Structure 1
Amino acid sequence: MSRTVAIATEAVVAFCRPTLGYDTWISELYPFLSQRAAVAYRTVDPANVPCTSLTGAATVRDGDGAFTMRVLVPTDAGEYSVYVHRTTESTPWAVEQITPLALE
C-alpha cells in the first residue's frame, strides 16, 4: 500500500501547480497517469487547478490492496481523492483520477 500512497501523493504534487505553463505541467503529470487518464487530463488548464500545495500526509481511503485503491491527499484547496489502479499484480500502479473529495 505504501507505493499507492506515494504515487497518489506525487501525482497531486505534480497536479497542484497552477502557475506552471501547460506544457511543463502536463509533461510532469504524465508519468503518474494511466493511458486513459493521460487523455482526459490533456484537456485541463492548470490555471484552473485550485490547489497549490499539500497540507498533510496522504491516507488510504479504501480499496482492495491488489488492483484498486483510493487515497485521500490533503491540499490547501481541500482533500483530493486519488483513484490508483493496476491491471495485474506485476504491472505498475497508475493514477486514473484526481478529484476534489467535495465533488465525489
Structure 2
Amino acid sequence: MRRTALAPALFAAATLLTACAWTPTADSTPTTAAARAPTITADADGHSAGDGHDHDEATEHYHGPNVTWDANAEARVKDTAAKAMVLFGRPAVEEKTWFKDLEPMLAAEYKENARYIDPARVPFSTVTDGPAISREAQNPMTVTAAFDTNAGPWTMMLHRTGQDDPWLVTSISPVSAP
C-alpha cells in the first residue's frame, strides 16, 4: 500500500520541480538552473539510484521474518491444531476453565472473541478426524486445519509470526453447508 501511494507523489513532485526550474524563453533554451537540475528516477519504494539501496529486482525481498515451510512446521501446526480443537469441543466444562485451558493457544485478536463463547453451546464433543492442513503455496505463516467432529466438519485458522514462534489459533468455525 505504501508503494502505491508513494510513486504518484514522487512523480508529481518531480514534475513540479521540473516545471519550476525550466521556463521557456524566446529561443526555448533551458535556463542554467534547469540545465543543472538532476533527473530523479525513483522505484516503487521511493528509493533512487545512488541512495545506498539495492534496486535489482532479482534481489528484492520481503521486509518481514524469514519463514519457511518444512516438516517441523507442519508437525508443530498439526499438534497445536489438534490440541486446540479437543480443548474447544468440551461443552460440559465450566466456562472459566474452558477459556483458561484454551487461551495460551489463541492469537490476541481471537482471544477477545473466544472469551465470550459459551462452551455449553459448542455442538461437538468429539473430534473424529483431522487435522487436515492446507495452505497457500507461498505462505508459510498461515494455515487452515480441517476437522470432522461428531457434529460435522469444522475449520480452524492458525498463524505464526516467525519461524520459531508458536502457531496460534485465529478462528474456529463450523463449515457451512453449500
Q: TM-score, normalised by structure 1?
A: 0.90
Give the 3-state SS of the residue equivalent to 1:96 in structure 2: strand
Q: Where does structure 1 lack aligned partners over 5 or more consecutive residues?
A: none
Cα RMSD after superposing both structures: 1.7
Paired with 2:120 and 2:177, the residues of 1 have a C-alpha distance of 19
Identity %: 30
Paired with 1:4 and 1:90, the residues of 2 have a C-alpha distance of 12
The structure 1 segments of at least 4 consecutive aligned residues displaced by more than 4 Å after TM superposition are: none
AA at the equivalent of 2:78 = V
Write the deviation string for residues 46-73 of structure 1: whole angstroms up to 9, x where unpaired: 1110010111232113345620000101
Partner of 1:95: 169
Indicate whether 1:28 and 2:119 are aligned.
no
Paired with 2:105 and 2:177, the residues of 1 have a C-alpha distance of 22
Indicate whether 1:56 and 2:129 are aligned.
yes
Partner of 2:116: 43
Paired with 1:13 and 1:35, the residues of 2 have a C-alpha distance of 20
Q: Where does structure 2 lack aligned partners over 5 or more consecutive residues?
A: 1-73
Partner of 1:75: 149
Paired with 2:177 and 2:76, the residues of 1 have a C-alpha distance of 25
Paired with 1:21 and 1:34, the residues of 2 have a C-alpha distance of 22
Count of residue pairs the alignment pairs up: 104
Give the 3-state SS of the residue equivalent to 1:102 in structure 2: coil
Q: Which has the higher contact order (CA 8 A, sep 6+)?
A: 1
Q: TM-score, normalised by structure 2?
A: 0.55
